[in-house]
Amino acid sequence: MKPMRKMLAAATLAVALTTGMTVALNPAAAAGTTLKAAAAEKGRYFGAAVATGKLSTGAYTTILNREFNSVVAENEMKWASNEPQQGQFNHSGGDRLVSHAQANGMSVRGHTLLWHAQQPGWAQGMSGSALRNAAINHVTQVATHYRGKIHSWDVVNEAFADGGSGARRDSNLQRTGNDWIEAAFRAARAADPGAKLCYNDYNTDGINAKSTGIYNMVRDFKSRGVPIDCVGFQSHLGTSLAGDYQANLQRFADLGVDVQITELDVMTGGNQASIFGAVTRACLAVSRCTGITTWGVRDCDSWRGSDNALLFDCNGNKKAAYTAVLDALNGGSTPPTTPPPGSGVDTSAWYVLINRNSGKALDVYASATSDGARISQWSRNNGVNQQWQFVDSGSGYYRVKSRNSSKVLDVSGFSTADGGAIVQWSDLNGTNQQFRLANSADGYVRLINRNSNKAVEVQGASTADGGNVVQYADWGGNNQQWQLVRIG
Ligand code: XIL
């Protein structure tokens, strides 16, 4: 299958060359050789739950850093861990994980602000308005502490009952009143407006009474403007997979929320690899399924003990389940990415622009919304400050508009000099705000400014987060080439 695709791509390229077409082709992206690379090719993240104590174990961290570009704390961001005494917060474990993630270009899922389990003793003993106030304060304090550092928060975990009722689970939190979940989401939004806010649960792997109860809650939240952005499907699986797993993800996506596979692990046995593969394909088939997290790295790291439920064995070897996931990521339907060069861009779409040299995304530094704010590169996290829309200026030129600020890329002060700063500015449709797309190989483009005729580049071919973006004479360098990955 793969050699065939390569041959076809090569043949198409040869035809294009012999017929004298001037546009470069966009050959199928190369197969990723790690989970994170293969997932990134499809616009998804691939994550693992991490016990931060293991970060000092080389064999563990080697796999984590090689294969995963998202992490979640297995326990350290839970209530019992980070507020062991009321009002006394201990973020050391979570902070350690965030540092590791930032140093290694990984995004972070936050797990979890409120849950009936793993509560500190003091909260377990509370009820009524005292508990409600303590819970909302916990949400506010923790989300504020990590503000700007968390890609998605599991604001509430496991609040629905198992079985056929479709109702809420009884818990001390539930007994404070049915509105405790929406109160938590509102508090989380206020504390960290940039994080995606998720509801997360298990036994929701098909269309059943429990998932339908959650579905109805999400639909209600969306209709009333309660801030919710995503639903997490833990997917702690046995030896079979619900036939409507994908359909279930899709019906949530159709409500206007992202979906994520948040705690994937699968019972060992004959079906393990195929179930891992099927879950991966289901996610890829749902455009709003933005990523997959496995609940641990190696079998021996798993909370499921002898189930051997993960992708790596205890010696760190890749299992058949790993290969099934990697193959699914590489073979899954390719979401729209770079438009074929020469065909123009979709001006209704939102793109992340990935630099060819660094692999980092064009980013409004620190999510600034002011005129003159600098443009940098940053590890891709698909944040709104990394999303750009092409606004047609005619004659093949476009403004490049930030989703976060609605400002456009701008060569500061109409500079025509090498090294002239690229900033964001209110959209005046000036020629220093207009760029044409020049084709490089493999679907990459350079952005050439109309006023200066210089290319947008990562200064000094930096590969660091925060690397400066400037204009420079167009010489076709990798640091001047950008991949337009359509994400919305
Ligand atoms: C588990 C951890 O893996 C264990 O280390 C801990 O002892 C108990 O919690 N659903 C969740 C996760 O949302 O937080 C749980 O993690 C597994 C089930």
Pocket test for ligand 1, best of 52, 54, 74, 236 (most atoms within 8 A of CB): 74
The residue to which tokens 């690397």 are assigned: 467
- To the question of domain 30-331 being in CATH 3.30.1050.10, the answer is no
Quickly state the pLDDT bin for 296 (edges 50, 70, 90). Answer: very high
What's the rounded Cα separation, in Å, for the pair 173 and 402? 40
362 CA distance to ligand 1 middle (Å): 35
Q: What is the atom index within ligand 1 of the atom nearest the CA of 302?
A: 3
Global confidence as pTM: 0.67
Would you list the domain boundaries of the chain?
1-28, 30-331, 351-486
Write the secondary structure of 425-469 as one string of H (helix), E (strand) and C (coil). Answer: ECCCCCHHHCEEEEECHHHCEEEEECCCCCEEEEHHHCCCCCCEE
| pLDDT (mean) for 148-159 | 98
- Identify the pLDDT of residue 30: 67
Quickly state the pLDDT bin for 10 (edges 50, 70, 90). Answer: very low
pLDDT in tens, 364-391: 999 999 999 999 999 988 899 999 999 9
75 lines ligand 1 (CB under 6 A): yes
Name the least confident of 23-32, 211-220, 434-443: 23-32
Quickly state the pLDDT bin for 14 (edges 50, 70, 90). Answer: very low
| SS3 (DSSP) at 313 | coil
- Identify the pLDDT of residue 459: 96
Q: What is the largest CA-CA distance in the chain?
A: 77
| SS3 (DSSP) at 16 | helix
Q: What is the DSSP letter of 410?
A: E
Which of 26, 16, 143, 43 is closest to 487 using CA atoms?
Answer: 43
Residue 67 a catalytic site member: no
303 lines ligand 1 (CB under 6 A): yes
CB-based contact 259:214 (threshold 8 Å): no
| pLDDT (mean) for 131-155 | 98
235 lines ligand 1 (CB under 6 A): no
Omega into 34 within 30° of 0, i.e. cis? no
| pLDDT (mean) for 218-223 | 98
Residue 41 a catalytic site member: no
pLDDT in tens, 77-134: 999 999 999 999 999 999 999 999 999 999 999 999 999 999 999 999 999 999 999 9
Which one of the listed residues 41, 74, 76, 263 is annotated catalytic? 263
What are the residues whose beta carbons fall under 8 Å from the beta carbon of 434, sequence distance 6 or more?
Answer: 393, 397, 398, 399, 449, 450, 451
- Identify the pLDDT of residue 440: 81
Which element (helix H / strand E) includes 354? strand 351-355
- Identify the pLDDT of residue 23: 35
- pLDDT over 70, % of the chain: 91
Which residue's CA is the closest to the ligand 1 atom numbered 3?
303
Pocket test for ligand 1, best of 50, 75, 162 (most atoms within 8 A of CB): 75
Q: Distance between alpha carbon 330 and the CA centroid of its chain, in Å? A: 18
Residue 203 has pLDDT above 70, yes or no: yes
| Architecture label for domain 351-486 | Trefoil (2.80)
| SS3 (DSSP) at 286 | coil
